[in-house]
Structure 1
Amino acid sequence: MDTRHLEAFLGAVDAGSVTRAASVLQVTQPTVTNRIKALERSLGLTLLERLPDGVRPTSAGRSILEQAREIVRLSGRVRRIADASLAPQGKIRVGASESLINHRLLPLIEYLLLRYPDMDVSLRLSTPQEALAMLRNGQLDCVFMIGSGAPREDLDHCDLCPEPFALVAGRRRNPVRPDAEETVSSILVTADLDVRHCGSLLTEVESTLRARRTLKLDSITAVKRMAESGLGVGLLPEVTVAEDIAAGRLRRVVDWRPATPTCTQALWRRDDGGHPVLDAVLKAASDVVGAG
């Protein structure tokens, strides 16, 4: 049985029209009609009832709908498995936050471009909130973000590497009493910190420092500069401030280490598992980012 015939039948049922099915399947209307007729001949059944404004399945058509969908689904999976033995090619759209693009993903992108020349990788700078919304509505295929725990049930994820946060401030103002308790007016965080996935971390910091307010900024650089100027304490991924701490521009806030574990995570739609390009990107991310 030719699965293209089943796809034409299912397309017409789902669209309610042979013409609309042809548009979705990107073939001509006569092609869809001929495939449906060929399926009906092979089964000896009339599967569609022709109406003035479209089509609908007959009782016989309805009786095979579930099995037809399963055959098409399994056929597509077999094709993807077969394609996986070849070098993956095609476009993949990736979203990530500022900190991960600058400090984690550049080696991954270089690796993909060199290893898979036929892969078209589109990288979009997004906040975690924006990236997750675009992932769910199909505008992105994969998202990298810093998170804690598993995402919601419609997404799959893998933890690539630990990504701890650091609390940083400007140079000490009291060199005589370096252990003196600091008065913190503000906690400065970036849009990289998605409170829905790292909320317990922010709660922990607010409780520890008893700051009067939390300011959310769009830029990591802005958070670092404000912390350096003494306008607050910055809560940032540790990887983004390592050089600043080494150079003496920033310092860690005394005696604070995060109790909430956070990781760099890759997330994708659960229904997209088994796609060769996505699988190649996830495997590369595990090898390159996970090893970093």
Structure 2
Amino acid sequence: MELRQLNTFITVADLNNFTRAADVLGYTQPTVTSQIQLLESELGVRLFERIKKNISLTYEGKKFLVYAKEIVAMCEEAKNTVKKQPIPKGVVTIGALESLCTTRLHTLLKDFHEKFPDIEIILKTIKSTEYEELLLGNQIDVAFCLDRIIKTSDFIVDLAIPESLVLLTSPNHPLTKLFKVYPEDIADHLFILAEEECSYRRTILAILNNLNLKPKSIMEIGSIQAMKQLAISGLGIILLPKITVKEELFKGELVELNWHGPAFEFFTQVIYHEDKWISPALQTLLNITKSALPLQYCND
């Protein structure tokens, strides 16, 4: 049973005439007759009484007409629900690091919602090691990561913007007295670092390890805000994106060390799986992100 057969049946029933139905539908009369015959053959009943040139619905035809109209109407409703709309609609699920949620994304998403209120955004905070699994499992549509350039072939990096990472201490910390700070200078001090999965932590520890250095001690903290407060108290050294400590630097609560070790080459990246279907809603978010997010960095 095909949708076109149902449309033909409804049209013939409404007009009570095969020839007129053919003209309305743009078919030849034999085509209309053939479609009705195929439909009757599949159903195993006669839908029309044909007496000379007059036709009328049979009892079975009248009952079937009700369902045929409902089916065609539902198909049209379904098509209108999912077809491309002039104004994008839908749902986009974003996975993002906590540091980006509180510094970069809140402004971006506020502006996005004001422009496209019909697109629902689901925002999930993730760890730097989780994005691959979540994208592969289609649990998120797009990831906002802060890491070294991602080169995995399964993923497309739609945007990559350099992000400054800085070593920080309280103004009274001994390291602030050094004009230049090298890896060997920091190894003898307490590090206040995030969990082992954190890309910042992995980077600073890899730098020290490559130089056969090891931190004197590490305090592991899961919250960026807690890390900042412990550093402000003078407890130790932290490594964070500069955007996350703008206020503390402005107030003089934290001091950026003049780092002369290997560069922290980190990028804010927007990535999705190469096989991901880019829905109109997701494409709209990607377009807005590529135009709006770089402007934030110009104003840093």
Q: TM-score, normalised by structure 2?
A: 0.61
Confirm or deny: 8 A CA contact 2:147 2:266 kept in the other structure: yes
Q: SS of 2:295's equivalent?
A: coil
Task: Give the gaps of 5 or more residues in structure 1.
Answer: 3-36, 39-81
The answer as to 2:159 corresponding to 1:159 is yes
Residue by residue, what CA displacement relative to the aligned partner does 1:101-159 show, whole Å, maximum 9, x if unpaired? 11100121112211112101111122122343222211111110102112422221133
| 1:204 aligned residue | 207
**1:232, distance to aligned residue in structure 2 (A):** 2.0
**1:89, distance to aligned residue in structure 2 (A):** 0.9
1:114-129 correspondence runs (5 A)? 114-129=114-129
Q: SS of 1:145's equivalent?
A: strand
| 1:105 aligned residue | 105
1:184/1:135 Cα in 2 relative to 1: closer, same or farther (>3 Å)? same
Q: SS of 1:239's equivalent?
A: helix
Q: SS of 1:128's equivalent?
A: coil
Q: SS of 1:129's equivalent?
A: coil
CA distance in 2, matches of 1:155, 1:248: 40
1:176/1:278 Cα in 2 relative to 1: closer, same or farther (>3 Å)? closer
CA distance in 1, matches of 2:176, 2:125: 44
Residue by residue, what CA displacement relative to the aligned partner does 1:20-75 show, whole Å, maximum 9, x if unpaired? xxxxxxxxxxxxxxxxx99xxxxxxxxxxxxxxxxxxxxxxxxxxxxxxxxxxxxx
CA distance in 2, matches of 1:231, 1:176: 13
| 2:147 aligned residue | 147
1:26-65 correspondence runs (5 A)? none
| 2:251 aligned residue | 247
**1:264, distance to aligned residue in structure 2 (A):** 0.6
Confirm or deny: 8 A CA contact 1:223 1:234 kept in the other structure: yes
Report the count of equivalent residues. Answer: 215
| 2:227 aligned residue | 223
CA distance in 1, matches of 2:99, 2:247: 14
Residue by residue, what CA displacement relative to the aligned partner does 1:3-29 show, whole Å, maximum 9, x if unpaired? xxxxxxxxxxxxxxxxxxxxxxxxxxx
User: Among residues 282, 288, 291, which one is paired with 1:287 in the alignment?
Assistant: 291
1:245/1:100 Cα in 2 relative to 1: closer, same or farther (>3 Å)? same
Q: SS of 2:133's equivalent?
A: helix
| 1:76 aligned residue | none
Task: Give the gaps of 5 or more residues in structure 2.
Answer: 3-37, 40-82
Q: Which amino acid aligns with 2:227?
A: V
Confirm or deny: 8 A CA contact 1:146 1:264 kept in the other structure: yes
Confirm or deny: 8 A CA contact 2:167 2:259 kept in the other structure: no
Provide the aligned C-alpha RMSD in A. Answer: 3.4
